[in-house]
Structure formats: C-alpha cells, structure tokens
Amino acid sequence: MPPEVQAAFDKYQVQYYAFLGQQTEVAIENFRWQQRASEVLMWTVLAVVFCGLGFSGYQLYHATRLGKDPAANEIEISANKVRVTSSIVGLVVLFMSIAFLYLFLIEVYRIKPVNLLQQSPSAQQVGSGATR
C-alpha cells in the first residue's frame, strides 16, 4: 500500500474513533438528562396523586362528619361554572388518582434496558467499509 494511502487511512481511523467517542459522550449525556427529567416527572406525578388523595380524604371526612344524606346530589351548570356537590366526588377523585398513578407507572415510567454494545446498521456498514 502506498504511504500516502496508508497515512490517509490512519487519519480516517483516528477521526472515526474520535467521532465514536463523541457519539458515546452524547449518548451518556442524553441518558443523564433523561434520568433527571424522569425523576422530576415522577415527583410531579406523586405530588398530583397525593393532592388527589388528600382532597378525596378531605371530601370523605366532611361527608361523614356532616352526616349528609349520601343520596343527596346537587349539580349546577351555568355559563360561568360547573358545580357538582356529592359525597361520591371524594371517591371518584380517589379512584382517578390511583388509576392515574397506575397508568403512569405501567405505561410512561417503564424502564426499558438498552443494549449499548449493539451497533446500528449504519455504524456497522461504516466500520466494515473502512477495513476493506
């Protein structure tokens, strides 16, 4: 192999591995950002769920303390507001909070392992093309 071809090939190899190193650093930073975002999202969801649980507990406590008729419901709908008064609202909020947490944990917060050793097809083609 002529020396200028070998020098060009060596230069290419150095640049290629430098690129792979930069690509790895970007992937690691993306994983770190996703982890931080995931933690913030999880705490936000827990705050929403605990607020819902607290509100439902408050509603149920007041419904039992005041001794209202459980069958007494009041619905008011106007152009400015919608108002629902019932002892069942607390239970509805309770079930919605628990369902929201369940769906979040099962569908959104699911952790999927990633195989970092498996290369994409484009990276394999570039790597195999360089050694020909």
pLDDT digits (tens, 9 = 90+) for 16-27: 999 999 999 998
**Does residue 115 lie in a domain region?**
yes
Kindly tell me if the per-residue pLDDT of 52 is higher than 60: yes
Kindly tell me if the per-residue pLDDT of 39 is higher than 80: yes
Pick 24 or 125 by higher pLDDT. Answer: 24
The mean per-residue pLDDT over the stretch 111-131 comes to 59
User: Which range marks the domain in which residue 83 is found?
Assistant: 3-127
Q: 70: phi > 0 → left, psi -120 to 50 → alpha, else beta; which? A: alpha
**Does residue 56 lie in a domain region?**
yes
For the chain, the domain total comes to: 1
DSSP character at residue 119: P
The mean per-residue pLDDT over the stretch 58-82 comes to 73
**Does residue 132 lie in a domain region?**
no
Mean pLDDT computed over every residue of the chain: 79
